[in-house]
Structure 1
């Protein structure tokens, strides 16, 4: 009887925890990702990001 209770409890916990994991899955987005990389440790490096920001807003004004 003890083994039956353990099996039932195990199945119950398995069901509860796996259903919670499946409900938290993310959906994939169809829009492409934009990755901007600039190298530099000076304050002059921020001008690179400003340039990319202007270009991005120019090319994709509806989204940004």
Structure 2
């Protein structure tokens, strides 16, 4: 699956998936064959960072 390229759309998509389907960012990346470092860098560019305890980007 292709993830959204726009960082805001990516944020929304990932947080929805994390809330509804995955118990961690690692599990989501494994299932979607996505590069976790790239995702985290992209969202850091809009000042959002993954919070493991909340299982979401904040």
More helix by share: 1
Which structure has the higher relative contact order (CA within 8 Å, separation 6+)? 2
Give the TM bin, normalised by the shorter chain: under 0.3
Structure 2 length-normalised TM: 0.27
Greater strand content: 2
Structure with higher Rg: it is 1
